[in-house]
Amino acid sequence: MADTRLMYFYGSLRPGEYNYSRFCLDRMADIVADDVVVPGAMYSYHDAYPVVNFNRKGEVRGTILRVDDYVAEMIDGMERGAGYNPLKLEIKHGDHTIYPVTYHWPGSTKKHVAIPDGNWPKHNRVLEAEYARSRR
């Protein structure tokens, strides 16, 4: 990859989630680290996608990807268009510090359901299993 950026994803852009393949991240990104825990509080927005407020107490699990500028700009457009603000994190990785960009939810979370373990893929699998059981 020519010009690249580090990005921290905690929701639908993580490996195995729907936007990971939609944005071709399986072919256009390198996984730097997986299951990286950072401070913040995760909430489910109508069981459709997660929102995270990094100013609140809790933990968020995510994946750090290295993406090229084109992919980063596409994702940035999607995230900003949904109301998120970019935020640069400081994460200790091995014996050095890295600064991936992530997306912070600045809005209210009063009507959202808290996800205490900050693990969107796990939460999503539970929702999918509940939906499948309800369809029987």
Domain 4-134 fold is: Hypothetical upf0131 protein ytfp (3.10.490)
Pairwise CA distance, residues 39 & 33, whole Å = 16
pLDDT tens per residue across all 136 residues of the chain: 457 899 999 999 999 998 999 989 999 999 999 999 999 999 999 888 899 999 999 999 999 999 999 999 999 999 999 999 999 999 998 899 999 999 999 999 999 999 999 999 999 888 778 778 888 7
A 10 A CB-CB count for 109 gives 17
Domain coordinates in residue numbering, the chain:
4-134
A 10 A CB-CB count for 46 gives 8
DSSP letter assigned to residue 97: E
Contact 87, 7 (CB under 8 A): no
pTM value is 0.91
